[in-house]
Structure 1
Amino acid sequence: MITDATTLLAAAVRNNADWCDTLCRAHGLPGSFGARAWTNPRRTPPYYPDAVTLSEDATAEDVLDGVDLGRPGASVKDSYGRLDLGPGFRRLFTARWIHRPADRPGLPITAGHRRVTTEAELAAWARAWSGDDAEDAALIRPELLADPSTTIVGAYDVGGRVLGGAVLTESAGVTGVSNLFTADDIPISLAWAGALAAATPGLPVVGYESGDDLAAAKDVGFEELGPLTVWMAVPAEALTACPPRARP
C-alpha cells in the first residue's frame, strides 16, 4: 500500500491522466503518454485538458509541443503548479490534490449505492450529473462501461432516482475519484460514501478539489497532497488587452 506523500502525489497525477485518456478514448480521441506529460493532438471533450504534466520537471515545451494550438480552447493541467505558459495562457483555476488512506473507515451509507452497468442506467446517471444538459450528458459515453479500470457508481432513492454518484479509476496503485456530484441540495458526503464503498479495498483514494468541495473532502477524511493549476489558452484578439504579466 502506498503511504509516502511524494509517491501518493505522483500516483494521483498519473491516475488522473489515465482517466483523462480513458474518457478521450471513449470519444475516439486517444492521447499519448510521454516521460513527462500526457498530450492529445486533437481538441479534447469539454472540461478535459489537452495536456497533463506527469512530473515536477515537465516544461512548457513538453505540453505545448503535443497539443493543437491552432484552434481555440487549448487547456493544460499543470499537475504540480509549477509552469508559466506565458501570455498566451491564463490560469483557469487552481486546486489541491487529495488522498484518503486505505485503512481509514468508510462513511455511513444513507442511500442505495450500486455500480452502473447498463446503457440505460448510464444515461440516467449522466443526465443527473449534467443537470439535464444534453451536451454535457453526452460526455459520459457507453464505451466507459467496458473499460476495466473504470467504475461508475450511483446513489439512488427507493424510487430509483439518481441522488448522486462518481467515477472511479483504478490505476497507479490508487483509486481516483472524479465527476463526484449530488442532486439538488443533497450533501456531497452522500456521494463520497458511495464512492468510498465502491473503491478497491487496500488502495488509497485520491482526487483533487478546491474551495467548498475541498473542505467537504477533508471533512470525510481526505488530506492535501499538493497544488495543481489548469491553464486555458487566451484568444489571440484578447492578448492586446492583457499585458503579459497581468494574468490572475
Structure 2
Amino acid sequence: MRGEARAAVRNNAEWCDALCRSHGLPGGTFGARVWTHPVRTPPYYPDAVTLDPDATADEVLAGVDRSAPGCSVKDSFGTLDLTPYGFRPLFTASWLHRPAGPPQPGPVGARWREVRTPGELAAWERAWNGGAPAGLFRPALLADPATTVLAGHDPDGGGVMAGAVVSEAAGVLGVSNLFGPAGSRTGCLAALADRRPELPVVGYEHGEDLADALHHGFTAVGPLRIWAAP
C-alpha cells in the first residue's frame, strides 16, 4: 500500500477523533491497526477507521458500541467483509493525494479566509448545510491547533459561499466537507498553498467530486468503503 494512502488514512482518523472531542466526547483509541470510538459518534462520522489493510473485523468491532442503531465503519483499504455482522456497504470512494504547490490559475471566485469566532462558524455551517443550522461543527474546533475551518466569501456581498475543513496530521493537509460553487476546489487549494505551501493535500471523494478532484491535480491512491449497520 502506497505511503500516500496511509498518510491520508491516518490524517482522516485524526480528524474524526478531533470532531468527536469537539462534541465533548472522549477521544477514541488509536491501536496498531484501527481507530475505534467507544460511544456513538456524531452524524456522518464513523465509529471505527481501519489504519492497516490487515485489520480484522474482530479488531474493529471489539472497540465500538453496537448496541445502539447507526454504527458505521470506515474500511480504509476496502479489505473487510462486515456483511456477516449485519452491516451493509454504504458507498465506496478513493483516497486522494496532491503534491504540495498551488493549483492552476482559475476564475476569480470566493475570497478565502479562516473562520475564527463561534459566530463565523455558525454562518459557515449554515452555508454548508443549505441555510439551516446542523450543530455538527462546534466552537471547540476553533481551539484545536490541528484544525482550520476555511470560508470562501462572496467578493460582492461578503457572505459565505464556499468552505472546507482542513486537518493537519501525518505530514499532510486533509481537506473535508468542501462545499461551494464550481471552482471552489481551486480557491481552497490556493488558500492552502498560501498558508502551508510545503505540505501535500489529501482527502477522499467519489462520484462527480472524485472527477473534479482528479481534474485539480489529485491522484487516486487507494480504495475505501463505508459500512453501516441499521
With over 3 angstroms needed to count, the CA separation of the structure-2 counterparts of 1:192 and 1:23, relative to structure 1, is farther
1:92 equivalent among 90, 100, 111: 90
Q: Report the number of matched residues.
A: 224
Residues 96 and 214, structure 1, Cα contact 8 Å, conserved in 2: yes
Gaps of 5+ in 2: none
When normalised by structure 2's length, the TM-score is: 0.93
| Aligned-residue offset at 1:198 | 2.4
CA distance in 1, matches of 2:104, 2:197: 11
**Does 2:42 correspond to 1:48?**
no
Please name the residue that 1:71 is paired with: 68
Q: What are the Cα deviations for residues 123-168 of structure 1, in whole angstroms up to 9, with x where unaligned?
A: 100100011233xx21000000000000110111132111111000
Name the residue aligned to 2:33: 36
Q: Within 2, Cα distance between the matches of 1:107 and 1:80?
A: 33
Q: What amino acid sits opposite 1:122 in the alignment?
A: L
Aligned to 1:176: 174
Q: 1:127 to 1:17 in 2, by over 3 A?
A: same
1:207 is matched with which residue?
A: 203
The one of 216, 219, 222 equivalent to 2:212 is 216
CA distance in 2, matches of 1:115, 1:168: 10
Is 2:187 aligned against 1:197? no
Give me the whole-angstrom Cα distance separating, in 2, the residues matched to 1:174 and 1:129: 24
Partners of 1:74 and 1:192 in 2: CA distance: 34
Q: State the distance in 2 between where 1:107 and 1:17 align.
A: 31
1:106 is displaced (CA, Å) by: 5.0
Is there any run of 5+ residues in structure 1 with no aligned partner, and where?
235-248
C-alpha displacement at 1:86, in angstroms? 2.7
Overall identity of the aligned pairs, in %: 59
Secondary structure of the structure 1 residue equivalent to 2:167:
strand
- Residues 122-141 of structure 1: pairs in structure 2 closer than 5 A: 122-134=121-133, 137-141=134-138
Aligned 8 A contact 1:92 1:231 in 2 = yes
What's the offset of the Cα at 1:179?
0.5
SS of structure 1 residue aligned to 2:83: coil
- DSSP 3-state at the match of 2:2: helix
Name which of structure 1's ranges 191-200 and 167-176 shifts more when overlaid on structure 2: 191-200
Q: Which has the larger radius of gyration?
A: 1
Structure 2 residue 13 is the aligned partner of structure 1 residue 17: yes
Partner letter of residue 146 of structure 2? Answer: S
Name the amino acid aligned to 2:138.
R
CA positional deviation for 1:196: 4.1
Structure 1 214/193 Cα, relative in aligned 2: closer, same or farther at 3 Å?
same
Aligned to 1:156: 153
Distance 2:105 2:179 in 1: 16
Q: Which residue of 1 aligns with 2:57?
A: 60
Contact 1:153/1:195 (CA < 8 Å) preserved in 2?
A: no
Does structure 2 retain, via aligned residues, the 8 Å contact 1:165–1:191?
A: no
In structure 2, the partner of 1:113 is: 112
Write the distance in 2 (CA, Å) between the matches of 1:175 and 1:107: 20
CA distance in 2, matches of 1:162, 1:89: 37
Tell me if structure 1 keeps the 8 A contact 2:102–2:190. no
SS at match of 1:76: strand
